[in-house]
């Protein structure tokens, strides 16, 4: 009983989520991958150990699982995407003041121009993720103690930022007298229209976006280092085959089915031990640690300037020729364009290391079993660098009528004191690549299962389970997952 108390103490400590810091204004979110607990066939070996003469079966096992779930932390995700940790943003078409103390967003940057010139609204997000899928996993034993596993998940994920806009002033109707960004007619009268207009090639918001197909495939090779009546230990190595989709920056919250198309290598270990038995009932303590290193790949990401969040959305000139153009766009000289189309580039992304750890107790009596456990996911920050050197050309547009650039303007401030009549091109040192990067992350989850195991010529396991993931960081997705699983041994 003393050993059982010790294990329970460790379990409760590991369940406590670590304190995290809140982020805001980010252009990219790829939180923790979907839970591997339902599809990882290794976690079922504890039942072989219990029923099959005290040893893990060195036979072929196949499992099929269906799963689904949804996110719960819309308030945290809202502040992650909005600027300055705010829960809503005030937008004014034509700024009330030269400073951002009167508005968070200047509508001109989003190609908003009305007949009355006073369109105003408040925007916020209600982000929601839903997902479902099924997985096929197999374990093949050979040469007494060696085994190999394969996990193949099929996932359907939908991300919806839930853009909500409360109109304060309509501004009348669309201004057709003047040209908008790119020298084309204005086609936006509010932020809802602006985020999905054709000229905005990246960072779009247009309802729920879905992705359906293969997740990443996991292949592992392990060795039963210890296989005794009351204990088991197996180290393993593996690879991640990147069969999921790759981020393309078209939408602000892209639906990603796996690890952002990164290949990876795995080094891990799994073990369990019998810690309590009485009146035919057994309690097993199970643990696992899966270390992953994801290798560098190429993606598209959108990034801000050092001067502030959402500066990727500032109206800009593509080059000096456009700045000096006599074309009048957004009621001032110069051919302006959507800044995010210039601030989205091919980059090399190196995610580095991450770790999944699990600790659980399994209660087994007769054919029935119940498990309660906790998992943790830890990830380091990404490192991002340009595929091609930054080329001088783009300039932040000033809305004065003298072809000026601006060194100080932000998404909510014209900053007339920063106007440069002779032009000021954006330099590499003006760019904040970290605004496009995933940061470090720590996520806890609590999970439980109920199962029925039959020991026969072809033993099988039926299982129902559920988990809840939670973090104190707002770059994580708090979510429920439920699953049903069937496993058979040949």
Q: Per residue in 445-476, is it b (16+ CB within 10 Å) or e — as a string? A: bebebebebeeeeebebebebbbebbbbbbbb
Q: pLDDT for 373-394, tens place per residue?
A: 999 999 999 999 999 999 999 9
Closest CA to 299 of 243, 264, 263, 261: 261
Predicted local distance difference test score (pLDDT) of residue 488: 87
| Banded model confidence at residue 96, pLDDT cuts 50, 70, 90 | low
With a cut of 80, say whether residue 43 has pLDDT above it. no
Would you mind telling me the total number of residues written for the chain in this entry? 490
Predicted local distance difference test score (pLDDT) of residue 403: 85
CA distance 301 to 350: 13
Q: pLDDT for 442-486, tens place per residue?
A: 999 999 999 998 877 788 889 999 999 999 899 999 999 999 999
Predicted local distance difference test score (pLDDT) of residue 10: 47
Higher pLDDT, 414 or 431: 431
CA distance 123 to 128: 16
35-44, 120-129, 166-175, 274-283: least confident range = 35-44
Half-sphere exposure of 148 (CA within 13 A, CB side): 5
CA distance 475 to 414: 30
3-class DSSP string for the chain: CHHHHHHHHHHHHHHCCCCCCCCCCCCCCCCCCCCCCCCCHHHHHHHHHHHCCCCCCCCCEEEEEEEEEEECCHHHHHHHHCHHHCCCEEEECCCCCCCCCCCCEEHHHHCECECCCCCEEEEECCCEEEEEEEEEEEEEEECCCEEEEEEEEEEEEEEECCCEEEEEECCCCECCCCECHHHCECCECCHHHHCCCCCCCCCECCCCEEEEEECCEEEEEEECCEECCCEEEEEEEEEEECCCCCCCCCECCCCCCCCCCCCEEEEEEEEEEEEEEECCEEEEEEEEEEEEEECCEEEEEECEECCECCHHHCEEECCHHHHCCCCEECCEECCCEEHHHHCEEEEEEECEEEEEEEEEEEEEECCEEEEEEEEEEEECCCEEEECCCCCCCCEEECCCCCCCEECCCECCECCHHHEECCCCCCCHHHEEHHHHCCCCEEEEEEEEEEEEEECCCCCEEEEEEEEEEECCCCCCCCEEEEEEEEEEEC
**Average pLDDT estimate for 251-260:** 94
Predicted local distance difference test score (pLDDT) of residue 16: 45
**Average pLDDT estimate for 232-258:** 95
With a cut of 50, say whether residue 11 has pLDDT above it. no
- Please name every residue paired with 488 in a beta bridge, in sequence order, or none if there are none: 62, 460
Predicted local distance difference test score (pLDDT) of residue 276: 87
With a cut of 80, say whether residue 242 has pLDDT above it. yes
The residues near 45 (Cβ < 8 Å, ≥ 6 apart) are: 56, 232, 234, 270, 272
Predicted local distance difference test score (pLDDT) of residue 227: 82
Higher pLDDT, 95 or 270: 270
CA distance 303 to 62: 44
If you average pLDDT over every residue of the chain, what do you get? 89
**Average pLDDT estimate for 165-169:** 95
**Average pLDDT estimate for 178-200:** 93
Nearest 10 degrees: Cα torsion 335, 341, 342, 346: -160
With a cut of 60, say whether residue 409 has pLDDT above it. yes
Predicted local distance difference test score (pLDDT) of residue 54: 56
Predicted local distance difference test score (pLDDT) of residue 18: 47
Note the pTM of the prediction, 2 decimals: 0.90
Q: pLDDT for 141-162, tens place per residue?
A: 888 889 999 999 999 999 999 9
Q: What are the boundaries of each domain within the chain?
A: 2-489
With a cut of 60, say whether residue 8 has pLDDT above it. no
With a cut of 80, say whether residue 1 has pLDDT above it. no
Q: Which two tokens stand for residue 204?
A: 């779009």
Q: pLDDT for 323-342, tens place per residue?
A: 999 898 888 889 999 999 99
Predicted local distance difference test score (pLDDT) of residue 53: 60
Q: Which class for 112: exposed (0-12), middle (13-18), buried (19 or more C-beta within 10 A)?
A: buried
With a cut of 70, say whether residue 256 has pLDDT above it. yes
| Banded model confidence at residue 14, pLDDT cuts 50, 70, 90 | very low
> Is 438 within 8 Å of 429 (Cβ atoms)?
no
Predicted local distance difference test score (pLDDT) of residue 13: 44
With a cut of 80, say whether residue 308 has pLDDT above it. yes
**Average pLDDT estimate for 302-324:** 95
């Amino acid at each position: 009983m003393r050993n059982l108390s010790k294990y329970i103490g460790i379990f409760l400590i590991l369940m406590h989520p670590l304190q995290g810091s809140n982020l805001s204004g980010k252009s990219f979110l790829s939180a923790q991958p979907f839970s591997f607990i339902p599809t990882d066939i290794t976690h079922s070996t504890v039942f072989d150990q219990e029923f099959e003469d005290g040893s893990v079966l060195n036979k072929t096992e196949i499992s099929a699982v269906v799963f689904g779930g949804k996110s719960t932390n819309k308030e945290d995700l809202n502040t992650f995407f909005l600027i300055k940790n705010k829960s809503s943003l005030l937008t004014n078409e034509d700024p009330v003041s030269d400073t951002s103390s009167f508005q968070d967003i200047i509508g001109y940057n989003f190609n908003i121009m009305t007949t009355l010139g006073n369109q105003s609204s408040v925007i916020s997000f209600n982000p929601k993720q839903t997902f479902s899928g099924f997985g096929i996993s197999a374990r093949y034993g050979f040469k007494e103690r060696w085994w190999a596993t394969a996990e193949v998940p099929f996932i359907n994920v939908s991300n919806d930022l839930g853009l909500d806009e409360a109109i304060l002033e309509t501004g009348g109707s669309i201004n057709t007298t003047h040209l908008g960004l790119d020298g084309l007619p204005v086609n936006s009268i509010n932020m809802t229209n602006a985020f999905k207009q054709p000229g905005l090639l990246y960072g779009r918001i247009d309802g729920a976006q879905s992705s359906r197909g293969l997740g990443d495939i996991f292949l592992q090779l392990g060795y039963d280092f210890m296989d005794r009546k009351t204990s088991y230990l197996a180290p393993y190595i593996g690879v991640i085959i990147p069969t999921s989709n790759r981020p393309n920056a078209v939408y602000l919250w892209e639906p990603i089915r796996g690890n952002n198309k990164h290949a990876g290598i795995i080094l891990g270990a799994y073990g369990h031990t019998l810690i309590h038995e009485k009146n035919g009932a057994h309690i097993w303590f199970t643990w696992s640690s899966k270390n992953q290193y994801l290798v560098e790949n190429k993606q598209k990401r959108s990034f801000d300037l050092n001067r502030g969040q959402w500066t990727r959305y500032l109206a800009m000139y593509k080059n000096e020729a456009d700045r000096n153009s006599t074309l009048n766009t957004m009621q001032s000289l110069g051919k302006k364009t959507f800044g995010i189309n210039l601030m989205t580039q091919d980059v090399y992304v190196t995610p580095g290391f991450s770790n999944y750890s699990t600790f659980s107790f399994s209660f087994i009596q007769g054919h029935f079993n119940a498990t309660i456990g906790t998992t943790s996911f830890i990830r380091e920050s990404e490192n991002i660098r340009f595929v091609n050197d930054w080329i001088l050309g783009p300039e932040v547009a000033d809305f004065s009528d003298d072809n000026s650039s601006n060194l100080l303007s932000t998404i909510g401030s014209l900053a007339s004191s920063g106007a440069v009549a002779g032009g000021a091109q954006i330099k590499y040192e003006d760019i904040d690549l970290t605004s496009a990067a995933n940061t470090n992350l720590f996520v806890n989850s609590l999970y439980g299962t109920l199962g029925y195991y039959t020991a026969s010529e072809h033993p099988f396991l039926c299982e129902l389970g559920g988990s809840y993931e939670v973090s104190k960081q707002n770059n994580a997705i708090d979510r429920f997952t439920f699953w049903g699983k069937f496993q058979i041994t040949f």
